[in-house]
Amino acid sequence: MTKIIWQLFLTYLRIGTFTIGGGYVMLAYVQREIVDKRHWMEDKEFMNMLALAQAAPGLIAVNTAIFVGWGVAHSTTIELSRRWRWLFTAACIGAAVLGAALPSIVIILLIAIYLSGFKTIPTIEAVFKGIRPAVVAIIAGTVVHLARKV
């Protein structure tokens, strides 16, 4: 039982670590790992899961991790009572989501730690001061565009 949870965590940790470019970039790697290599899902199940993950609110990487964790937990033939089945399902989902999100969290944390040291450099400070109005303009433009459509 714990072996499956660790496999989910390590699989998604590897996927999250080595795919750069967002959730849609990692989908081919997820399919190769989940369907082809581990045989946790069939192709049709994966396509259905992908459709649900795209329709659900949130990040596609996290949504696929949730659905894969749930699917793996429910396809496992381990005999468990109802209470333990729910705990096992929650652990599988949590392991997949944590594995998918942890690399990004660590990278962002490292950038934040080391970026604070660069803020005192006058050139970097000027760049960030120049970016602020651009960000405000982009957000304002989006609000105006959406308001016109409403």
Q: Which residue has the tokens 């790697």?
A: 29
pLDDT of residue 21: 63
pLDDT digits (tens, 9 = 90+) for 80-99: 787 888 899 999 999 999 99
User: Is the pLDDT at 77 greater than 90, yes or no?
Assistant: no
More confident of the two residues 104 and 139: 104
**Residues in contact with 149: Cβ distance below 8 Å, sequence separation at least 6, in sequence order:** none
Domain parsing of the chain, residue ranges: 2-118, 120-150
Report which DSSP code applies to 59. -
How much is the pTM?
0.72
User: Is the pLDDT at 146 greater than 80, yes or no?
Assistant: no
Helix segments in the chain, DSSP class H: 2-18, 23-31, 43-55, 60-75, 82-118, 122-149
**Residues in contact with 103: Cβ distance below 8 Å, sequence separation at least 6, in sequence order:** 13, 16, 17
pLDDT digits (tens, 9 = 90+) for 33-45: 888 899 988 888 8
